[in-house]
Amino acid sequence: MSTDGFSEQERAAMKARAEELRKEAAGGRGRKAATDELDVLSKIAEMEAADRAVAERVHAVVTANAPELAPKLWYGQPAYARKGKVVCFFRSGHTDKERYSTFGFTPEANLDDGGLWATSFAVNGLDDTSEAVLAALVKKAVS
């Protein structure tokens, strides 16, 4: 176990989350959902090209299949929330210095399926089949 503290990426994520919380507090409940979505789209636009292409498709799949989820930033990355609580999220592999990006679900997602179910997936591209799987999971998560 390392005693060096948090990595540079962990510190950046915590700083981003703290800024998100400050913005939410300053904006109060009246903050427009459109502003949150613009924040998400801006974050996606900043991503490295391969991650950006995947994140754009993920955003399209989630917003089309679960319009009740509101886009927002979560730890500096795109996420989708119901009543303010994040249900699913996308993590850029390039930002996290990993070889693949991740699409995941929080405990707010209704994915429970017996004693074992997946809560996150490695993503380095989406074809029609994987998009269909993602769409089905997102629909189940909000059911």
Tell me the pLDDT tens digit for each residue of 64-111: 999 999 999 999 999 999 999 999 999 999 999 999 999 999 999 999
For the chain, how far is it from start to end, CA to CA, in angstroms?
Answer: 40
pLDDT tens readout for residues 27-70: 655 455 668 888 999 999 999 999 999 999 999 999 999 999 99
Cα(59)–Cα(70) distance, integer angstroms: 11
Q: Structure pTM? A: 0.80
More reliable by pLDDT, 139 or 16: 139
Q: What is the pLDDT of residue 7?
A: 76
Helices (H), 5-92: 8-27, 33-46, 49-65
